[in-house]
Amino acid sequence: MDTTKVANTNGTEPAIAAKPSRAGAVASWADDRLGLATMAKKNLRKVFPDHWSFMLGEIALWSFVVLLLTGVFLTLWFTPSMGEVQYNGSYEQLRGIQMSEAYASSLKISFDVRGGLLMRQMHHWSAMLFVASMMVHLLRVWFTGAFRKPRELNWVIGCLLLLLGTLEGFTGYSLPDDLLSGTGIRAADGFIKASPVVGTYMSFLLFGGEFPGESIIPRLYIIHVLLIPGLLLALVGAHMLLLVYHKHTQWPGPGRTEKNVVGFPMLPVYAAKAGGFFFIVFGVTALMGALLSINPVWKYGPYDPSKVTAGSQPDWYMGWPDGALRIMPGIETHIWGVTISWNVMLPILILPVVAFTVLLLLPFIDAWVTGDKRDHHLLYRPRNAPTRSAVMVALMTMYGLFWAAGGNDIIAIRLHASINQITYFLRAAVIVGPVIAFLVTRRWCISLQRKDNETLLHGYETGIIMRSPEGGYTERHLPLDATRAYVLTARDRDPVVDGEVQHEVDGNGVPTPHTGRLSGVRNRLRTLMWSDNVQKPTAEELDAGHHHAEHEHELQTALDGHAADGHQFDGHHLVEDEGLRHH
Site for another protein in 106-125 (CB under 8 A): 110-111, 117, 121, 125
* Nearer to another protein among residue 136 and residue 227 (C-beta): 136
> Strand pairing of 98-100 and 84-86?
antiparallel
Element (H, E) at 457: helix 419-458
In whole angstroms, give the CA distance from residue 416 to residue 257. Answer: 55
Residues 6+ apart with CB under 8 A from 4: none
Rounded to the nearest whole angstrom, what is the least distance from the CB of residue 90 to another protein in the complex? 10
* Nearer to another protein among residue 3 and residue 306 (C-beta): 306
Q: What is the size of the binding site for another protein (CB under 8 A)?
A: 74
Q: Is the Cα dihedral 198, 204, 205, 211 positive or negative?
A: positive
One of 2, 17, 38, 96 touching another protein (CB under 8 A): 96
Q: For residue 581, how many other CB atoms are within 10 A of its CB?
A: 11
One of 70, 100, 106, 285 touching another protein (CB under 8 A): 285
Encoded one letter per residue, x for contact with another protein by CB under 8 A and - for no contact, window 228-267 reads ------------------------------------x---
Footprint on residues 370-389 left by another protein (CB under 8 A): none
Element (H, E) at 237: helix 228-246
Regarding 340 and contact with another protein (CB under 8 A), the answer is no
Name 253's bridge partners. Answer: 256
One of 119, 128, 232, 429 touching another protein (CB under 8 A): 128
One of 46, 47, 50, 160 touching another protein (CB under 8 A): 50
Packing angle between helix 482-489 and helix 419-458, nearest 10 degrees? Answer: 130
Rounded to the nearest whole angstrom, what is the least distance from the CB of residue 298 to another protein in the complex? 7
Footprint on residues 343-362 left by another protein (CB under 8 A): none
Q: Which of 214, 469, 167 is nearest to 317 (CA)?
A: 167
Which of 85-92's residues contact partners 24+ apart within 8 Å by CB, and which partners? Answer: 91/298
Regarding 179 and contact with another protein (CB under 8 A), the answer is yes
* Nearer to another protein among residue 423 and residue 502 (C-beta): 423
Residues 6+ apart with CB under 8 A from 469: 559
In whole angstroms, give the CA distance from residue 456 to residue 211. Answer: 66
Q: Of 35-43, 190-198, 281-289, 381-389, which part binds another protein (CB under 8 A)?
A: 281-289
Rounded to the nearest whole angstrom, what is the least distance from the CB of residue 309 to another protein in the complex? 4
Regarding 47 and contact with another protein (CB under 8 A), the answer is no
- Cis link prior to 268 (omega < 30° from 0)? yes
Regarding 281 and contact with another protein (CB under 8 A), the answer is yes
Question: CA torsion angle for 135, 140, 142, 143 (degrees, to 10)?
Answer: 130
Rounded to the nearest whole angstrom, what is the least distance from the CB of residue 315 to another protein in the complex? 5
Footprint on residues 289-328 left by another protein (CB under 8 A): 290-296, 298-301, 304, 306-316, 319
Please, is 183 exposed, middle or buried when counting C-beta atoms within 10 Å of its C-beta (0-12, 13-18, 19+)? Answer: buried
For 278-307, give one letter per residue: b (16+ CB within 10 A) or e.
beebbebbbebbeeeebbebbebbbbeeee
Regarding 133 and contact with another protein (CB under 8 A), the answer is yes
* Nearer to another protein among residue 100 and residue 121 (C-beta): 121
Rounded to the nearest whole angstrom, what is the least distance from the CB of residue 22 to another protein in the complex? 29
Q: Of 44-52, 190-198, 443-451, 523-531, which part binds another protein (CB under 8 A)?
A: 44-52
Footprint on residues 136-155 left by another protein (CB under 8 A): 136
* Nearer to another protein among residue 18 and residue 482 (C-beta): 482
* Nearer to another protein among residue 420 and residue 468 (C-beta): 420
* Contact by Cβ (8 Å): 73, 110: no
Rounded to the nearest whole angstrom, what is the least distance from the CB of residue 329 to another protein in the complex? 15
Regarding 170 and contact with another protein (CB under 8 A), the answer is no
* Contact by Cβ (8 Å): 504, 512: yes
For 444-478, give one letter per residue: b (16+ CB within 10 A) or e.
bbbebbeebbbbbbbbeebebeeeeeeeeeeebbb
Regarding 413 and contact with another protein (CB under 8 A), the answer is yes
* Nearer to another protein among residue 136 and residue 351 (C-beta): 136
One of 410, 478, 528, 563 touching another protein (CB under 8 A): 410
* Nearer to another protein among residue 363 and residue 406 (C-beta): 406
Q: Which of 478, 448, 451, 450 is nearest to 463 (CA)?
A: 478
Encoded one letter per residue, x for contact with another protein by CB under 8 A and - for no contact, window 432-451 reads --------------------
Residues 6+ apart with CB under 8 A from 131: 162, 165, 166, 169, 316, 317
Rounded to the nearest whole angstrom, what is the least distance from the CB of residue 94 to another protein in the complex? 7
Rounded to the nearest whole angstrom, what is the least distance from the CB of residue 408 to another protein in the complex? 7
